[in-house]
Structure 1
Amino acid sequence: MKQRLNWLWRLFATGFSFTLFGLGGLLLPFYAVPWLLITPKGVKRERKARWLVHINFRFFMNMMRALGILHYYVEDIDRLRQPGQLILANHPSLIDVVLLISLLPQADCVVKSALMKNPSMRGVIRLAGYIANDDPEQVIAEAKASLARGNHLIIFPEGTRTVPGRAISFQRGAANVALRLEQAIRPVLITVEPATLTKQVAWYEIPLSGPFEMVLRVLPERSLPSTEGQPVSLAARQLTKQLEHFFTEELAHYAGTRARA
């Protein structure tokens, strides 16, 4: 009976949280824009906007934790202190980007252009000036400028959430950005146990046993392999395969470590 009541509470709290998130996405531009208009256009206004999104996302994550919906842990967060990093992360759940941005006051993202049609996200995307992925050359130019300004640039190479039980499959866009900009990669490994808010699990399908757990592991930076004499397209294909293998191995190693603990 106690477990059932706890599940009902977490179901209500989850629904409340995502309703509030959606309303927040709709309302954020209305209360943010007047505050931002007193700041001249340019880098200073951009930094204020991204800090505001960061604060809202941090509130959302901490609220979900306080309501007993989830626990989250971050390992080696000090590795993110250096500005101007290209962060590549796997994508197991709906709130991966929310967790990452909640940790990074000056985060930039490459987002699916389809999100510009999402009422609860388009205002946030426009406000923070995130990079839409519809024009590859524009992505490269904006990514270069963003990293030069000291932002953390977040890319999910899968392009969408991982389907549980399937092998990780990366698109070549992230590798192409890294190679074209000659930018080292900061891998971030995200695990969610039990699988929750995945591509094939609705928001209300929450674990019966208790809060789900998110662990974000910030891994050592990876230098780019030598690509001398190779066309970028071939080098990007090879680097994508290497990253797929690396993330798959790291996830398997972490799962094995957890199982033995």
Structure 2
Amino acid sequence: MSGPSPQKASSTFSYLRYVAIVLLFGLWAFALNVLCAVLLPLGVEKRHPGLVRRILADSMRRYTRLLEITGVGRVRFRDMDRLPKGPCLIVANHTGLLDALFLLIEIPEVVCVFKAGLSRNPFFRYMIRQGGFIANDDGMESLHAMEKALNDGRQVLVFPEGTRTEVPPLNRFKAGFAWVAKRTHAPVCALIIRNPSGLLSKRGGLFGRYALPFHCEYSYLKAFQPVEDEQPAVFARRLESFYREQFTSEDFAQWPK
């Protein structure tokens, strides 16, 4: 009886490497979360603002190198140096679980708007508190927190879909970011995330059978601002339409069904 084909054996080996890398990430995240829990009552972040975000950025930089060395995948950035240096709203489509963490590599001082459920996650809850990030389920309180961060000269990262893409190419954009843009007159800087394997997409989960090696690319496109008298909902639809024009069916051909 013949054994498994070389192609199938290679695919199995690639998947096992991927699982090992995911488990390693989980151990790292849990350890860093414990460290943040210990540092929280000591007020370290108040004395050294941005320390946790810089640790996260450096850790993710090392993690992406490991992904490439092991042949699991690669992460690339394009034109990120064109982002404005001052306060701005950075918006992006949301393809995978690690999008925000990967973006911290290039913009470590950014304030992330995160899904509120992560504030109860044992792997991320104290990192989020120490990082000064903003939960997306607090209604007007969240929007005012984004407004304050921008008025304080910060950059704010928000995923207008509100969660990871469920039906490619995009979920409908929520208009909260557009309301903040109108209030602050901050430029809205559009990033596009291309994730042809659907890595860590909502459909695939942590241990999905993704096409490996994966390739994720994070690119800056252009800046927008609401025009005079343009309602936030109209501006959100305009930006959503712009994103939809950027994608082709090839961008999602390998996504889990």
**Range into which the TM-score falls when normalised by the shorter chain:** 0.7 to 0.9
For 1:70-219, what aligned pairs fall within 5 Å after superposition? 70-80=73-83, 82-165=85-168, 167-208=170-211, 210-219=212-221
Tell me whether 1:244 sits opposite 2:240 in the alignment: yes
Q: Are the equivalent residues in 1 in contact too, given 2:76–2:216 (CA < 8 A)?
A: yes
Q: Are the equivalent residues in 1 in contact too, given 2:87–2:186 (CA < 8 A)?
A: no
Give the Cα–Cα distance (whole angstroms) in 2 for the partners of residues 19 and 81 of structure 1: 36
Secondary structure of 2:50's counterpart equals helix
Q: Are the equivalent residues in 1 in contact too, given 2:36–2:126 (CA < 8 A)?
A: no
1:17 aligned residue (17, 21, 40) = 21
The 1:254/1:207 distance shift into structure 2, 3 A limit, reads: closer
Give the Cα–Cα distance (whole angstroms) in 1 for the partners of residues 169 and 78 of structure 2: 25
List alignment gaps of at least 5 residues for structure 1.
256-261
Q: Are the equivalent residues in 1 in contact too, given 2:181–2:225 (CA < 8 A)?
A: no
Corresponding position of 1:258: none
The share of aligned pairs that are identical, in percent, is: 26
Secondary structure of 2:191's counterpart equals strand
Per-residue CA deviations over 1:32-83 (Å, capped at 9, x if unaligned) read 56678887663x5231121112112222222222221112221112113614
Secondary structure of 1:61's counterpart equals helix
Normalised by the length of structure 1, the TM-score is 0.83
Give the Cα–Cα distance (whole angstroms) in 2 for the partners of residues 203 and 41 of structure 1: 31
Normalised by the length of structure 2, the TM-score is 0.84
Give the Cα–Cα distance (whole angstroms) in 2 for the partners of residues 137 and 196 of structure 1: 32
Secondary structure of 1:219's counterpart equals strand
Corresponding position of 2:68: 65
- Whichever structure has more helix as a proportion of its residues is 1
Query: How much has 1:165 moved relative to structure 2?
Result: 3.9
Residue 18 of structure 1 aligns with an amino acid whose one-letter code is: V
Secondary structure of 2:90's counterpart equals strand
Q: Are the equivalent residues in 2 in contact too, given 1:26–1:123 (CA < 8 A)?
A: no
Give the Cα–Cα distance (whole angstroms) in 1 for the partners of residues 116 and 43 of structure 2: 27
Query: How much has 1:245 moved relative to structure 2?
Result: 0.3
Per-residue CA deviations over 1:128-183 (Å, capped at 9, x if unaligned) read 11111232332233223323444331100001111244654111222222222221
Give the Cα–Cα distance (whole angstroms) in 2 for the partners of residues 63 and 81 of structure 1: 30
Secondary structure of 1:62's counterpart equals helix
List alignment gaps of at least 5 residues for structure 2.
252-257
The 1:3/1:149 distance shift into structure 2, 3 A limit, reads: farther
Give the Cα–Cα distance (whole angstroms) in 2 for the partners of residues 253 and 217 of structure 1: 18
Give the Cα–Cα distance (whole angstroms) in 2 for the partners of residues 6 and 150 of structure 1: 50
My pick for the range that moved more, 123-132 or 158-167, is 158-167
Q: Are the equivalent residues in 2 in contact too, given 1:111–1:132 (CA < 8 A)?
A: yes
Give the Cα–Cα distance (whole angstroms) in 2 for the partners of residues 41 and 114 of structure 1: 23
Give the Cα–Cα distance (whole angstroms) in 1 for the partners of residues 19 and 242 of structure 2: 36
Per-residue CA deviations over 1:104-128 (Å, capped at 9, x if unaligned) read 1212111121111111111211121
